[in-house]
Amino acid sequence: MEAILKVKDLGIAFGGNKVLDSVNFYVNEGEVLGIMGPNGAGKTVLLNIISGILKADHGEIIFLGQNILKESITARTAMGIGRTFQVPRAFEHMSVYENILASVVYGQKVSEKAAAVKAREILKLVKLEERANEPAGKLRLINRKRLEIGAALASDPKLLLLDEVAGGLTNAEVNEILEIVKTIKGRGVSIIWIEHIIQTLMEGTDRIMLLANGRDLLTDTPEEVMKSSIVNEVYMGAEEDD
Ligand SMILES: Nc1ncnc2c1ncn2[C@@H]1O[C@H](COP(=O)(O)OP(=O)(O)OP(=O)(O)O)[C@@H](O)[C@H]1O
Ligand SMILES: [Mg+2]
């Protein structure tokens, strides 16, 4: 299997706060890599660096064989990196359909007709067809998460970055998100999935990386990671800090 993404010795500090010290990992083609780690571990920061929102102080990001550290956010999106945001970002007054359509049209050369077809296809995939005409601002959380995933799919990503799309949902809703992610994976998309919920990590990922203390402390199959004493130590330590 070929790695679609390789991250080497990635580091970033904000002032004196060294959030990522040296992070190293890869994502294979068609794989779902889960990322877990305590609050403030730098998981979102890592996604922001991969998508180009933040600039790393050092390290390499190789996407499809090319170092992308100097590429802009839009260039990375065009190359095939899509992402969701931890706090969903929809145009509140626009309908669900218009939101998806806006994402499809944004930065892409696509005819009106093709854009409409694609927007409908995405609505179906994220199971929002019945909400197509509702204002995005009126959606409940599960549907906001669906819309967030749909918007990220608009650029046809080869690598999809998910930031806590299952956070705050009920068990039944988490299962619906798991189904959607499985469908996306089934289309050959590689995925990095940040989540706190153990069930999503166990059922929805192929491998899990534990990010803590600025480093990739452990990366292994979900079973091995959950058995590891390192995970316990990290989370126990985090609790004692509170
Ligand atoms: N743009 C920024 N400028 C300064 N500090 C930042 C910036 N972005 C993140 N940080 C800091 O980096 C640290 C890691 O934040 P991050 O949001 O990546 O954590 P996280 O692992 O995603 O946590 P959570 O599980 O709560 O989402 C925090 O201390 C945060 O305050
Ligand atoms: Mg976060």
Whether the predicted pLDDT of 89 surpasses 90: no
Give yes or no for a contact between 22 and 214, defined as CB atoms under 8 angstroms apart.
yes
Q: Residue 48: count other Cβ atoms within 10 Å of its Cβ.
A: 20
The answer to whether the CB of 45 is under 6 A from ligand 1 is yes
Distances, alpha carbon 7 to alpha carbons 83, 104, 233, 235, 236, in Å: 17, 28, 25, 24, 28
More confident site: 199 or 236: 199
Q: How far is the CA of 38 from the centre of ligand 2 (A)?
A: 9
CB-based burial, 190-229: b 16+ in 10 Å, e otherwise: bbbbbbebeebbeebbbbbbbbbebbbbbbeebeebeebe
Asked if residue 75 is part of any domain, the answer here is yes
CATH of residue 62? 3.40.50.300
Asked if residue 112 is part of any domain, the answer here is no
- Residue 85: pLDDT band with limits 50, 70, 90: confident
Asked if residue 51 is part of any domain, the answer here is yes
The sign of the dihedral angle between the CA atoms of 54, 90, 153, 23 is positive
Amino acid at 238: A
22-26, 42-46, 75-79, 84-88: the lowest-pLDDT one: 84-88
Q: What is the pLDDT of residue 91?
A: 86
Q: What is the pLDDT of residue 240?
A: 63
- Residue 220, strand partner residues: 208
pTM score of the predicted model: 0.95
Closest C-alpha to ligand 1, atom 25: 39
Whether the predicted pLDDT of 241 surpasses 80: no
Asked if residue 237 is part of any domain, the answer here is yes
Number of domains in the chain: 1
Phi, psi of 35, deg, nearest 5: -125, 125
Q: How far is the CA of 222 from the centre of ligand 2 (A)?
A: 20
Asked if residue 169 is part of any domain, the answer here is yes
- What are 90-135's pLDDT values in tens digits? 889 999 999 999 999 986 788 999 999 999 999 999 999 999 999 9
Give yes or no for a contact between 147 and 88, defined as CB atoms under 8 angstroms apart.
yes
Asked if residue 93 is part of any domain, the answer here is no
Closest C-alpha to ligand 1, atom 30: 40
Asked if residue 115 is part of any domain, the answer here is no
Whether the predicted pLDDT of 229 surpasses 60: yes
The answer to whether the CB of 37 is under 6 A from ligand 1 is yes
Asked if residue 41 is part of any domain, the answer here is yes
Q: What is the pLDDT of residue 196?
A: 92
Ligand 2 ion: residues within 5 Å (CB): 43-44, 86
Domain with 211 in it: 3-87+156-241
Which residue's entry shows tokens 């093709």?
A: 114
Whether the predicted pLDDT of 232 surpasses 60: yes
The answer to whether the CB of 50 is under 6 A from ligand 1 is no
Helices and strands (DSSP H and E) totals, the chain? 9, 10
Q: What is the pLDDT of residue 108?
A: 76
For the CA of 46, the closest atom of ligand 1 is 18
- Residue 1: pLDDT band with limits 50, 70, 90: low
Q: How far is the CA of 47 from the centre of ligand 2 (A)?
A: 9
3-state class (DSSP) for residue 210: strand
Q: What is the pLDDT of residue 185?
A: 98
**Structure tokens given for 120:** 């409908």
- Residue 2: pLDDT band with limits 50, 70, 90: confident
End-to-end CA distance of the chain: 42
- What are 37-48's pLDDT values in tens digits? 999 999 999 999
pLDDT above 90: percentage of residues in the chain? 88
- What are 163-219's pLDDT values in tens digits? 999 999 999 999 999 999 999 999 999 999 999 998 899 999 999 999 999 999 999
